[in-house]
Amino acid sequence: MSAHDERLDRVPALRRGFRFQWEPAQGCHVLLYPEGMVRLNDSAGAILERVDGRRSVAAIVDELARRFPEAAGIEADVLEFLEVARERFWIELR
Amino acid sequence: MNASGSSCAESAVAPGPPLWLLAELTYRCPLQCPYCSNPLDFAGQGEELSTAQWIEALRQARELGAAQLGFSGGEPLLRRDLVELIRAAHELGYYTNLITSGIGLGEARLNAFVAAGLDHVQISLQAADEALNDRLAGSRRAFARKLAMARAVKARGLPMVLNVVVHRHNIDDIDRIIELCLELEADAVELATCQFYGWARLNRAGLLPSREQLTRAERITGEWRAKLAARRHPCRLIFVVPDYHEERPKACLHGWGSLFLAIAPDGTALPCHSARQLPLEFPNVREHGLKHIWYDSPAFNRYRGFDWMPEPCRSCAERERDFGGCRCQAFLLSGDAGNADPVCSKSPYHDKILAARREAERSPSAADRLILRNARTSRLIARG
């Protein structure tokens, strides 16, 4: 199996203490953690909405491709965002 | 993502919602830390809000947009209804932070908090050394209890931030402080150099670290950060620099009435928990809704935007970065909250900061000469 496929098979989950939710007053999804909050743009929100500790990266990519058929490069975007999220310790990849 | 904020040059632009709510549930506290940020005359303040009044205030702030909620004090554990308040806050959709000394928390109570939906616990430590910790806290056995509670928090898998107020009597121990916090599995460590409001202002000469102490502590913290990054360790080390050693002021709370809303134990709504010492009439949640308080009250609008600024801030290119600094500090050091924060080297009052620095180099007082924060002293101060 290539390194690329392995990345798609992994299952991302929010780390304990991180909470993802929609904030009507801000009109965006946010990620909440101890004494802090990250405001997410639409694509980050769409990805994190599907990070539940059950869906694999591949499943998330598939869902987003179906949801946004006109968008190009979804797989690369998802992989890149999840890498940033992992670097920042928002998520873990199981 | 939100276009507001960048274009609010001269004209008044409607402020955004409060995102952070600090609920100071009580000014009562079993500890006596000499740098407490509570007002000096806390013992003379009015009656605490009831459970129902707090829940109503939480509901209104959440409706406005507040997402982060800190339960603080004083010591919030002294409120018997804390578990009820946590549950209500959780159901409203807040991220709930308990900001505590750890004294008064037990295993059973902690379990109840977790069941009620508490998201995070911040515990304060005074030092890495038991004797110094307990002397600063004015309480025997505080250190041992704090460590036990920190371990109990982590045993339940809750995120934990450890907060250490750093000053001249513990700053040289920064290495051991960081080590202790890592041993306790802190998710983040706030090394918060004393800010000089409230009781810390009273004790400034005995608390402000020297430049040399500060430089060393920052270097050691930087070395620890590098070590943690190399190990891919998730713990964040946050070092809050004392603005007294800076040439530009801090962007205090990202501007007056911009993101942060504090409610004092008696229901007074404040743009900052230190602001009640300012000669402004602050509204109370017993009398007004929070929507009115946040958007329309004169106190919350007093220093919003840039129109209120005198020189040197008015024409300063950096005003959108630091908002003229801190109103409370301007008031404490220049007598007028509308002046530039004297930390700024452009302020005509900057000599007050320079004098405090010289004092810190020349005549520091011993730890046992600090005035401890307690109700007896506070009553004397309140009486004037």
Cross-strand partners of B192: B165, B240
**What is the mean predicted confidence (pLDDT) over B51-69?**
98
Total Cβ atoms within 10 A of residue B205: 16
**What is the mean predicted confidence (pLDDT) over B134-148?**
90
Q: What is the mean pLDDT of chain A?
A: 92
Which 3 state secondary structure label does DSSP give A21? strand
CB contact under 8 A, B97 and A16: no
Total Cβ atoms within 10 A of residue B281: 10
Total Cβ atoms within 10 A of residue B266: 17
Cα–Cα distance, B102 to B301 (Å, whole number): 36
Nearest Cα neighbor of B70 from A92, A35, A65 is A35
pLDDT-based confidence at residue A3 (cuts at 50, 70, 90): low
Nearest CA of chain A to the CA of B68: how many Å?
A: 7
Whether B1 shows a pLDDT value over 90: the answer reads no
CB contact under 8 A, A35 and B65: no
Q: What is the pLDDT of residues B175-224, one digit of tens each?
A: 999 999 999 999 999 999 999 998 988 888 889 999 999 999 999 999 99
Which 3 state secondary structure label does DSSP give B41? coil
Position with higher pLDDT, B367 vs B99: B99
Of A52-66, B239-253, B282-296, minimum mean pLDDT range: B239-253
Q: Which two tokens stand for residue B197?
A: 């409001």
- Is cis: bond before B222, omega within 30 of 0? no
Whether A61 shows a pLDDT value over 90: the answer reads yes
A33: which chain B residues are within 8 Å (Cβ-Cβ)? 95, 120, 159
pLDDT-based confidence at residue B11 (cuts at 50, 70, 90): very low
Report the pLDDT value the prediction gives residue B176, as an integer from 0 to 100. Answer: 96
ipTM score of complex? 0.91
Report the pLDDT value the prediction gives residue B55, as an integer from 0 to 100. Answer: 98
Q: Tell the residue number behind the tokens 């304060």, with chain if given.
A: B124
Report the pLDDT value the prediction gives residue B271, as an integer from 0 to 100. Answer: 97
Q: Which two tokens stand for residue A7?
A: 């990345």
Whether B40 shows a pLDDT value over 90: the answer reads no
Q: What is the pLDDT of residues B154-181, one digit of tens each?
A: 999 999 999 999 999 999 999 999 999 9
pLDDT-based confidence at residue B368 (cuts at 50, 70, 90): confident
Q: A83 — phi, psi (to 5°)? A: -65, -45
B119: which chain A residues are within 8 Å (Cβ-Cβ)? 17, 19, 32, 34
**What is the mean predicted confidence (pLDDT) over B357-363?**
82
Nearest CA in chain B to A15: B159
Q: What is the mean pLDDT of chain B?
A: 92
- Maximum separation of any 2 CA atoms in chain A, in Å: 45
Whether B375 shows a pLDDT value over 50: the answer reads yes
Cα–Cα distance, B139 to B125 (Å, whole number): 12
CB contact under 8 A, B187 and A34: yes
CB contact under 8 A, A34 and B157: no
In Å, how far are B26, B207, B235, B376 from B161, measured between CA atoms? 21, 23, 9, 31
Q: What is the pLDDT of residues A73-87, one digit of tens each?
A: 899 999 999 999 999
Q: Tell the residue number behind the tokens 């913290």, with chain if given.
A: B221
| Cβ B16 vs Cβ B259: under 8 Å | yes
**What is the mean predicted confidence (pLDDT) over A22-29?**
95
Q: What is the pLDDT of residues A28-49, one digit of tens each?
A: 999 999 989 999 999 999 999 9
